[in-house]
Amino acid sequence: MMRRVAYFIVVCVFALGMGGELPYGQLLRYGEGPGPLEEEGLYRQAVNLVMEHAAMQPGDEVVLTDSLNEMLHSLDPHSSYYTPEIFKDLMEDQKGKFSGIGLLVAKPGPDSPLLVVTPIPDTPAYKAGIRAGDLILEVDGKQTASMTSREAVKRLKGPKGTTVVVKIGRGDSTTPQTVTLKRANIPKHTVPYSFMLGDGEGYVKITTFGQTTSDELQEALKKLKSEGMESLVLDLRNNPGGSFPAAIAVASTFLAKGQEVVSIRGRRAGMVHPFKVKRDGKYVDLPLAVLLNRGSASASEIVAGALQDHDRALVVGERSWGKGLVQTLTPLDNGGALAITTARYYTPSGRLIQRDYSKSYDTYFFPDEQPDSSKAPKTPSAKEEALTDAGRKVYGGGGIEPDVVVKEPLIPPLALRFERKRAFLNFVAEKVEAGKLKANGVSAPVLLESFRKSMSGGKEKFTKKEWTKSETYMQHALKREAMTMLLGQEEGYKAMADMDTQLSRARQLLSTEKPSRKAA
């Protein structure tokens, strides 16, 4: 059962395509079907037997959802049925906006009230003076301490123009404040971070591909260019994909007219549809590096594969996921949707992006949990070999293999324990709530020493050796939380840049190799 739940979560993360329709009419009683039972009648007969005779009767929605998913998962790992609620969330991600009050929130513990990590600028919450470190004690009269984080966020969201009443607690005030906010459209940024790293090096992070991604990217690049950008690190790590048109637009920004971005090949022989750049990209000559890891999939792999095959960018990091199945998504009458694989993605050099899943879905969805022998890198076969425009050898067989492999370092054990318990967040939140931490007075060493005293006096037990091993990471993590609460997400994100070995390697390579426009 746990594996089924895990499959569903992973499939939802990579839900990027489009779908089909399943006839589902009135259920027949056993033996009442006219004439010989065909496949549809057999299904209805089985459902009726389950509903009438199972020791524990399942709900209609459970039967529908599970049976549809079992049928679709027998085709491939990514064909799936999405319930109305899940489908709504997927479409919200694609559109790049939702209706709410504009807060990034967290729930430090299961019985804790909702904590404001940061308000989104120019939103109802921001304009009402709600700030980082505030506690949302109640939403429409209901205490958030008794809610899950998902339930609390769902209550804060709602149709544009409707109101929600929140009770705010603040560390420097003994009396909670009740505020009525009118919900508005909130932008859901897919390019949340763009800043200069120094020495003419720009950095852009794309978290997912949606309808607004191309416009967001152009705006970010324009800003960085005005700040002196001469090269760029494009970070696609942990980006599960999204809108196919957005992937084409992003890749086209850095490619020349006529260069292929990706091709789609269906099950019928000769069904090949290439997608090519229609005009020179605005940044076709900009030296470029792309960051990937195991969490990069689908649209991310389309972009990285195109830039690598045309020798347009150096790809740094770890091999990507390998999700190269084209999904067709069709809305259903109940508000849900069906996603069915109809084709496969190939990079310009002819590499199949999709990773093999024929061995088992366990191996496919949980590669890091397999025995060491199954995780060992395989020797690429001649069939998987391809050449870039400049004649470099690249290999298919699942995902995009980086030009330079850099493994992400593990978080030291003690620091990882604190991260999982949200100890850094809770500690900084208390300081901010009490007014003891200001944006211009954040000293990471001082903050770390205060944190050590706080942890030493509590239930946490650790040795001096454990502390020393985790010290550097913890110092950066505390600064991350402080900057996020005091100055916003981007400043918090910057605080961890020095710890990013993959980013550091990409910067080093850009300073020496500077890949730019190649022959179309």
| Same domain flag for 138 and 271 | no
pLDDT in tens, 275-298: 999 999 999 999 999 999 999 999
Residue at 495 is within a domain: no
At 7, is the pLDDT very low, low, confident or very high (cuts 50, 70, 90)?
very low
31-35, 41-45, 256-260, 417-421: range with highest mean pLDDT: 256-260
pLDDT at 5: 42
Q: What is the CATH number of the domain that holds 237?
A: 3.90.226.10
- Confidence at residue 465, expressed as pLDDT on a 0 to 100 scale: 95
Cβ contact 51:66 at 8 Å: no
Tell me what the mean pLDDT of segment 265-283 comes to: 88
The answer on 387 and 275 residing in a single domain is: yes
Q: Tell me the pLDDT tens digit for each residue of 303-313.
A: 999 999 999 99
User: pLDDT over 70 for what percent of the chain?
Assistant: 86
Q: How far is CA 481 from the centre of its chain?
A: 20
Q: Which of 188, 205, 323, 479 is catalytic?
A: 323
Is the pLDDT at 431 greater than 70, yes or no?
Answer: yes
Asked if residue 120 and residue 46 are part of one domain, the reply reads no
User: Do 137 and 149 fall into the same domain?
Assistant: yes
Per-residue pLDDT of 496-512, as tens digits, reads 999 999 999 999 999 98
Q: What are phi and psi of 151, to 5 degrees?
A: -65, -40
Residue 432 within a domain = yes
- Among residues 138, 164, 187, the one where a domain terminates is 187
Lowest mean pLDDT among 30-44, 52-66, 354-368, 491-505: 30-44
Are 276 and 404 within one domain? yes
Q: Which of 298, 300, 349, 470 is catalytic?
A: 298
Share of the chain above pLDDT 90, in %: 48
The CATH number of the domain where 124 resides is what? Answer: 2.30.42.10
For residues 13, 16, 20, 23, the Cα torsion angle rounded to the nearest 10 degrees is 20
188 is catalytic: no
- AA identity, residue 510: L
Pick the catalytic residue: 93, 134, 309, 500? 309
Q: Which of 291, 343, 348, 294 is nearest to 322 (CA)?
A: 294
Residue 162 and residue 214 in one domain: no
Predicted TM-score of the model (pTM): 0.79
Answer whether residue 517 is part of any domain.
Answer: no
**Residue 387 falls within a domain, yes or no?**
yes
Is residue 494, in this structure, part of any structural domain at all?
no
Q: What DSSP string describes 4-24?
A: HHHHHHHHHHT---B------
- Structure confidence at residue 224 (pLDDT): 98
Instruction: Specify the DSSP class assigned to residue 231.
Output: E
Q: Is 359 a catalytic residue?
A: no
Which residue range is the domain that position 82 belongs to? 2-32+40-93
- Residues β-bridged to residue 292: 317
Of 39-43, 101-105, 444-448, which gets the smallest average pLDDT?
A: 39-43
Same domain, 231 and 347: yes
Is 519 part of any domain? no
Kindly indicate the confidence band of residue 174, based on its pLDDT and cuts at 50, 70 and 90. low
Report pLDDT for 355: 92
Query: Is the CB of residue 184 less than 8 Å from the CB of residue 490?
Result: no
- The verdict on residue 163 lying in a domain is yes
Chain center to CA of 361: 21
- Domains held by the chain: number: 4
* Res. 403 pLDDT band, cuts 50 70 90: very high
Q: How far apart are CA 364 and CA 368, in angstroms?
A: 9
CB 17 within 8 A of CB 327: yes
Whether residues 128 and 183 share a domain: the answer is yes
CB atoms within 10 A of CB 78: 26
Name the average pLDDT for the chain.
84
Same domain, 276 and 399: yes
pLDDT exceeds 60 at position 515? yes
Amino acid 95: pLDDT: 66
Q: What is the pLDDT of residue 6?
A: 43
* Domain co-membership, 113 together with 228: no
Q: Which residues of 274-296 are buried (b: 16+ CB within 10 A; e: fewer)?
A: ebbbeebbebbebbbbbbbbbeb
pLDDT over 50 at 204, yes or no: yes
Same domain assignment for residues 305 and 394: yes
pLDDT computed for residue 284 by the predictor: 97
pLDDT at 260 over 50: yes
The reply to whether 336 falls in a domain is: no
Asked whether residue 15 falls in the same domain as residue 88, the answer is yes
Q: Any idea which of 190-199, 212-221, 449-458 has the lowest mean pLDDT?
A: 449-458
Q: Of 161, 187, 213, which marks where a domain is finished?
A: 187
Asked which of 17-31, 123-137, 382-396 is least confident by mean pLDDT, the reply is 17-31
- Dump pLDDT digits (tens) for 181-199: 999 988 778 998 999 998 8
Q: Is there a catalytic annotation at residue 298? A: yes
